[in-house]
Amino acid sequence: MPDQPRPLVIVGAGGLGRELLDVVEAVNAAAVAAGDPARYTFLGFLDDGSVDPDLIARRGAPLLGAQELLGRLDADYLIGFGDAAARQRVDRFASAHGRRPATLVHPRASIGSDVRLGPGTVICALASITTNVRTGRHVVVDVGAGVAHDCRLGDYVTVAPGARLAGEVAVGAQAWIGTQASVVGRRRVGDRAVVGAGAVVTEDIGAAVVVAGVPARPIDTAPGQPHARGRWSDEDVIHPLKQRGRPVVRPSRP
């Protein structure tokens, strides 16, 4: 008997959460086209913060309620928060309640041999991962990003749209590689570090350091959160949704 679709919720109904729904729908469509059942039955979004009801309605997806419902729903989950610390908090809450994260690869992504994706990792459309790559928990490799051979991505890393990691790059937990940024081969990006949009990283980056420019140079530190304010702003170097001209819905604390 074919496997039945698994119920699924997305925690976070902002831009990233809605993009993750695109991936879920594409994975389901590919399964059905191959003559198999859809992999997931999408139940809806969970979010504590301010959500644009029109955007949710246009996706035909319900807002089920607050994030704490994840502890009571018998469903797999994805985390649709760009902020790595928020992803970690949701992951810990979900794990404490025995919930299972979904791990998804968009059918239009390219995945090479000997690639191991951690629980909750999502690989978006047109992303490319070559060979012998490892990711941690709840990593997002966004639209059109590229990850070359032997890279290691820690828990809660984001590789934003169009970013490029050359071979043997190691990215620490909760780091953010900004839109269209590049990291040359065999470099290390520390935990919670932030690489600004369009930056070119040619040297190792320490933990919680914010870099920008070509070549990338430190411009600030991020002691607590990748999105902490300093001499830079989200508009300048960080948030891919803002860079792509979309309104930013900032997640509330889980």
Each residue's pLDDT tens digit, 103-150: 999 999 999 999 999 999 999 999 999 999 999 999 999 999 999 999
Separation between Cα atoms, residue 163 and residue 186, nearest integer Å:
16
> Amino acid identity, residue 62?
P
**Please, what CATH class does the domain formed by 6-96 belong to?**
alpha beta
Counting residues of the chain whose pLDDT is more than 70, the rounded percentage is 86
Condensed to tens digits (0 to 9), the pLDDT of residues 182-205 reads 999 999 999 999 999 999 999 999
Cβ atoms of residues 102 and 77 within 8 Å: yes
Model-wide pTM > 0.85: yes
Sheet-wide strand order for 200-201: 110-111, 128-129, 146-147, 164-165, 182-183, 200-201
The two domains 6-96 and 104-238 share their CATH topology (first three levels equal)? no
* Average pLDDT over every residue of 33-41: 97
* Residue 224 confidence (pLDDT): 52
3-state secondary structure at position 155: coil
Separation between Cα atoms, residue 4 and residue 98, nearest integer Å:
20
**Domain ranges within the chain, ordered by starting residue:** 6-96, 104-238
Q: 104-238 — its CATH code?
A: 2.160.10.10
- Report residue 180: phi and psi, to 5°: 65, 15
